């Protein structure tokens, strides 16, 4: 991701991108009540949050949310949409540098839930393990490479191959995995790979454990 990509996203949001897409991810709405969350004040990180449809939904459900995006414009819009009741912090960050997680984010965690929705970054899936609480969840939704006529980004760079999410989830327990064409709430068909996975309760590797 380059400075020009940051400018591209800022410009898109300045022009009103996704302003009409206020509904949270159907996947998040379906699965949130089913998660085994023990924390009395659960916290989530929304990676590539954009203007925050999912961050705002989680905050409305009483979650403390850290929203991360490369676009400062998107985060300003998110902050403006949040009310005093919403516990949302915003961090502007390029998630494609491979740098260690900044202290600002590790201090806000460990997280009970991480979201990576409609943002394609397969290497990040493994790194999210470092900031999840043992037993914490990662929910991923990505557009698939497809021949079908569907909505979503043009170009394979912004899509994932069939099976790619599962393959990228080494070290997690897969809770649910789905691929296929579904209709978005706005009626447009999208070809999605969707995964809910979990950091094992007993750590299986040299990961940081928070207690």
The nearer residue to ligand SAM, 153 or 209, going by C-beta atoms, is 153
State yes or no: residue 110 binds ligand SAM (CB under 6 A).
Answer: no
The nearer residue to ligand SAM, 104 or 203, going by C-beta atoms, is 104
Candidate segments 27-35, 94-102, 162-170, 189-197, binder of ligand SAM by CB under 6 A: 94-102
Helices (H), 2-147: 3-14, 26-31, 53-60, 72-81, 103-108, 122-128
Query: Site for ligand SAM (CB under 6 A): which residue of 28, 44, 53, 144?
Result: 53
How deeply is 69 buried, as exposed, middle or buried, from its count of CB atoms within 10 A (0-12, 13-18, 19+)? buried
State yes or no: residue 24 binds ligand SAM (CB under 6 A).
Answer: no
Touching ligand SAM, residues 32-51 (CB under 6 A): 48-50
State yes or no: residue 1 binds ligand SAM (CB under 6 A).
Answer: yes
Residue whose tokens read 């400018």: 7
The nearer residue to ligand SAM, 60 or 173, going by C-beta atoms, is 60
Assign 81 to helix, strand or coil: helix
Beta carbon of residue 22, minimum distance to ligand SAM (angstroms, whole number): 10
Beta carbons of 66 and 89 less than 8 angstroms apart: yes
Binding residues for ligand SAM, rule CB under 6 A, total 18
Segment (H or E) for 189? strand 189-198
State yes or no: residue 191 binds ligand SAM (CB under 6 A).
Answer: no
Q: Which two tokens mark 117?
A: 């929705």
Assign 99 to helix, strand or coil: coil
């Amino acid at each position: 991701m380059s400075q020009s990509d940051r400018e591209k996203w800022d410009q898109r949001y300045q022009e009103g991108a996704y302003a009409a897409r206020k509904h949270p991810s159907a996947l998040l709405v379906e699965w949130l009540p089913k998660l085994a969350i023990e924390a009395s004040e659960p916290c989530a990180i929304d990676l590539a949050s954009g203007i925050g449809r999912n961050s705002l939904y989680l905050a409305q459900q009483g979650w403390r949310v850290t929203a991360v995006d490369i676009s400062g414009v998107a985060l300003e819009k998110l902050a403006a949409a949040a009310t005093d009741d919403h516990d949302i912090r915003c961090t502007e960050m390029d998630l494609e540098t491979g740098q260690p997680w900044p202290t600002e984010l590790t201090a806000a965690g460990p997280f009970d839930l991480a979201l990576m929705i409609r943002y394609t970054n397969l290497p990040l899936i493994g790194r999210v393990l470092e900031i999840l609480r043992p037993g914490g969840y990662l929910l991923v939704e990505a557009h698939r490479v497809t021949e079908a006529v569907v909505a979503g980004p043009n170009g394979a760079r912004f899509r994932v191959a069939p099976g790619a999410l599962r393959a990228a989830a080494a070290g997690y327990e897969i809770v649910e995995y789905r691929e296929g064409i579904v209709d978005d709430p706005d009626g447009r068909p999208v070809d999605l790979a969707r995964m809910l996975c979990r950091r094992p309760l007993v750590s299986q590797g040299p990961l940081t454990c928070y207690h």
